[in-house]
Amino acid sequence: MAQAKLTIDLDALCDNWQSLNALSQSETGAVVKADSYGLGADRVATALAQAGARTFFVAVAEEGAKLRRTLGPGVEICVFSGHMPGDLGLIRDANLVPMINSIDQMLCHVEGLPGHPFGIQLDSGMNRLGMEPAEWSALRDIALAQNPRLVMSHLACADEPDHAMNRQQLAQFTAMTDGIDAPRSLSATGGILLGEDYHFDLTRPGIGLYGGMPFVDARPVVRLDIPVIQTREVLAGETVGYGNSWVAQKPTRVATIASGYADGIHRAMGPQAHVWVGEHRAKILGRISMDLIAVDLTGVDGTPETVELLGLHQGVDTLADWAGTIGYEILTSLGARYDRVYIGG
Ligand SMILES: *Cc1c(COP(=O)(O)O)cnc(C)c1O
């Protein structure tokens, strides 16, 4: 079998949720947008609900409706994109809580679904989603009179603890929400780590649950084992892969493994990338192909059945550094072709 195996450790996931929960006095939600950062919202959200998560966040109403079928009643499912035209049926039937982002969305919501729960998303400086201060001033009293489930905002620079933007957004959010009765939420993973001032009533971790930075104490959640298809001896002066970009300087034992950029293994990782064969670090040779990668097995005894690209030796953030991106993008890129195996939970 040449299908690579992506193992998702639900116990590590739930431990990460518990660890983040222990860092604040607030309720800890769970962000499961984009199919739980690519790891499978059905299994991930079910495990997190069992661990005690009660408030889930998704990006769009369609994700929320699917999640409701998985989790059933009894948990709150909040939608960051709010109430978009055409969402009415989904929001009503799946009992979703749209995070209202503008006066237009507010009108759409109260006209279409009077009395249906909603939350408010405020822009405290990121200029991505949420009501601007002036918009909020105009709407505030009317909105608060209808008891929003949550009033939230999002930090732009929380992964940099010393960034002045954090204090600035905290001050803006506080000014916009001081004295209100509705529960408040400002922090994702990074904000939780900034300390108590940032916690408010509910936190919204995503990446930290899945083992990514900036939560340095996270347990790794994913492991990726890739089968070796064949090996060969390459002589000094021979080349490997597209474009002849790697040239052997000495006799080299080369293995071809069964994954590539179509599986979310970024081609941009290039020459710095490695895989692991037990405790041996084996270099990736030449260009990453769509379905195949060459690795240097020189010095490895015998031929392993598989090599490890993600696991205890290197995680999503190591791969992200090689590819010039972030762990989030590595996770959400992991392809559909893997055999996904869930352990624990
Ligand atoms: C994605 C997202 C989160 C989760 O962020 P992490 O950095 O993954 O913890 C929280 N809130 C909002 C609004 C988001 O878009």
At 190-248, the pLDDT tens digits run: 999 999 999 999 999 999 999 999 999 999 999 999 999 999 999 999 999 999 999 99
Euclidean distance between CA atoms 271 and 344, whole angstroms: 35
Phi, psi of 178 (to 5 degrees): -55, 135
Residues whose CB is less than 8 angstroms from the CB of residue 247 and which lie 6 or more positions away in sequence, other chains included: 237, 238, 239
Euclidean distance between CA atoms 53 and 67, whole angstroms: 14
Ligand 1 centre and the CA of 144: distance in Å? Answer: 24
Euclidean distance between CA atoms 57 and 46, whole angstroms: 14
Euclidean distance between CA atoms 211 and 26, whole angstroms: 21
Give the nearest ligand 1 atom to 205 CA.
9
pTM, full prediction: 0.97
Q: To test ligand 1's pocket by mutation, which of 36, 80, 209, 331 has the most ligand atoms within 8 angstroms of CB?
A: 80
296: left (phi over 0), alpha (psi -120 to 50) or beta: beta
Q: Residue 233 is encoded by which pair of tokens?
A: 């001896």
Of 246, 264, 191, residue with least CA distance to 38: 264
Euclidean distance between CA atoms 67 and 210, whole angstroms: 18
Euclidean distance between CA atoms 4 and 198, whole angstroms: 41
Q: Do 152 and 99 touch, CB atoms closer than 8 A? A: yes
Give the nearest ligand 1 atom to 80 CA.
13
Confidence of residue 263 (pLDDT cuts 50, 70, 90): very high
Residues annotated as catalytic are: 33, 242
Domains and CATH numbers, the chain: 10-210 (3.20.20.10), 222-343 (2.40.37.10)
Q: Closest Cα to atom 12, ligand 1: which residue?
A: 154
Euclidean distance between CA atoms 211 and 157, whole angstroms: 19
Output the average pLDDT for the chain: 97
Confidence of residue 127 (pLDDT cuts 50, 70, 90): very high
Of 234, 228, 237, 242, residue with least CA distance to 307: 228
Q: Residue 309 is encoded by which pair of tokens?
A: 């690209």
Of 7, 12, 59, 13, residue with least CA distance to 32: 59
Beta bridge partners of 217: none
Give the relative orientation of helices 41-51 and 61-71 as an angle to the nearest 10 degrees.
60
Terminal-to-terminal C-alpha distance of the chain: 27
pLDDT at 83: 98
Q: Closest Cα to atom 13, ligand 1: which residue?
A: 154
Euclidean distance between CA atoms 48 and 51, whole angstroms: 5
Ligand 1 centre and the CA of 85: distance in Å? Answer: 23
Give the nearest ligand 1 atom to 328 CA.
8
Q: To test ligand 1's pocket by mutation, which of 31, 122, 193 has the most ligand atoms within 8 angstroms of CB?
A: 31
Q: Residue 345 pLDDT > 90, yes or no?
A: no
Of 245, 270, 259, 230, residue with least CA distance to 333: 259
pLDDT at 270: 79
Largest CA distance in the chain: 77
Give the nearest ligand 1 atom to 207 CA.
8
Ligand 1 site, CB within 6 A = 31, 33, 80, 154, 188-190, 204-208
Q: Residue 2 pLDDT > 90, yes or no?
A: yes
Q: Residue 117 is encoded by which pair of tokens?
A: 């729960």
